[in-house]
Structure 1
């Protein structure tokens, strides 16, 4: 697992060792060689080597950058006013996890010869934000993954998760006119976007094995136009049917590209921004007479795929946090009073595929033809 230069440096260092120290080190090396040869023999006989979990890394690597290249040229869609990001100030919280057979001795023998300290990982990520010339978190993770594997040839895999730390421009009163400040921003406490990238080395080739983008903890409430009726009623059912209820949902929405290069905004027109996904979800929620959260997320997914054909699928993790009613009727008002729901909450997991979107498109076309007839 070492280069010629590594071996040369180790020999120079170990020439100064005492005889007993070198004897014990030699035994460790012999044990290691024996283990490698035994594993090879087992594999040659057609038996599968045990796959172990072996990785380590660094979490909560915070990095902030001012005046990153702006994101421009994104595809415009009817449901969103998003046209790009100035990137005047950006933040990202990165988790880095690396793996490889070369790190096995650090676990089994306490041999740190090939260990890259997690503090070094932190510094590597933060300093490479300065040299990154792209416009998105997805692109930054792609850039850092390749730099890591190029720099440390004994790493086999790397997984990077980057959670955006959003900043919003504040109002500014300039020249007797209210406008948007180009200098002052506030840190947003709303939904967060996140990107995940996994890469592995095969010979001299670096392959992206997984990439997806995600918007997390999007909290939306629609005060009417939602129902929940027709479900199974038996001796365990205490929930009343409701033909017009408020609906408060938490949404995590993730999306994958058919071509992962589209995620890095090399061609901004094929990049899907989290802001657009957020606005699409809100628009569908507004338009739909919602019979259930399951049906809501299905239609959100189909709309996203209709707008962005470069995506293969959209996945949801949703939760129902609809408020409990306290006051049913308020004289002279159509309003009600609610409180937080009791702790148990419902949740849903679902993936909307390209095939689902095509079926909905066909259904819409058939409905249109029937209306014309």
Structure 2
């Protein structure tokens, strides 16, 4: 069987071209070599951070940095690079107390890089195999380790380079809008029937339009990276903050992030933002009407209630309906005490979020669940 090694973003186009070919396998270089047996990235980061925070008083220079997750991510990322290239912490400088302390921290981080160590060993073994029936197709590698490995494999495998394309004619065109521009690109691809690269200057806004147009036109395509913004992680984080702070601002943030099963309208959000002072629906209508009645009682011809009264009553009724639906979830969050209980409560509430109707949000939810399953036992220990 022939094995084609190709990056993930090109799999779809390769499969499209090989749809009538049997006996051919397709895999990415990372899938063939990377090890998934060691602890996950989230588990490694959490374990490393917990290990150092338990002894923060022993680190005079860097102990204050242990309050920042970014510090642990940077150190662990550096340690992962060392493990990938087989560099020991003994090679790090220790010519002053600060560097000596940092070297010790990196040494502890290296204990959580078993995945990278196995990947390096697997890559070395893969390089020395027989690859007579393997085709290495061109790809874009962001990480130098994988780029360097693919460069070495070119000498041992049949290499499929990027298809040469001689530019016969250079033309320029313009369009009145982004959608028309992408429509024009699609029409040109169909008319000329040649492969091409499309470079997006603003992927977050242009990619959804390009995908919709290309799918409608039946143009097969793949992408190096596709930015699909997801909101579920922010929703989960806002629920955690709500369980910790237990204040109106945190509740408003969670509502704005659609963290609950009930979505909130913008009008209701603005109303609650200006009136809510605690984690409960505000009731201002009766007080407002009573104050009006006191004023009107002094007049012989009391006017009709102002439009503000009707608006206030409508918003109050909507707020009551909203809180009626979210009260069980809200109580679960506000009654959570310990850190692990807060995370569990936030996930339970988040698992019924209205956001999960979207596929990208469901994928983010599965990743969140996986991370919590691996990290919660460490938090409870």
Kindly indicate which of the two structures has a greater share of residues assigned to strand: 1
* TM-score calculated relative to the size of structure 1: 0.23
More helix by proportion, 1 or 2?
A: 2
Larger Rg: 2
| Larger RCO (CA under 8 A, 6+ residues apart) | 2
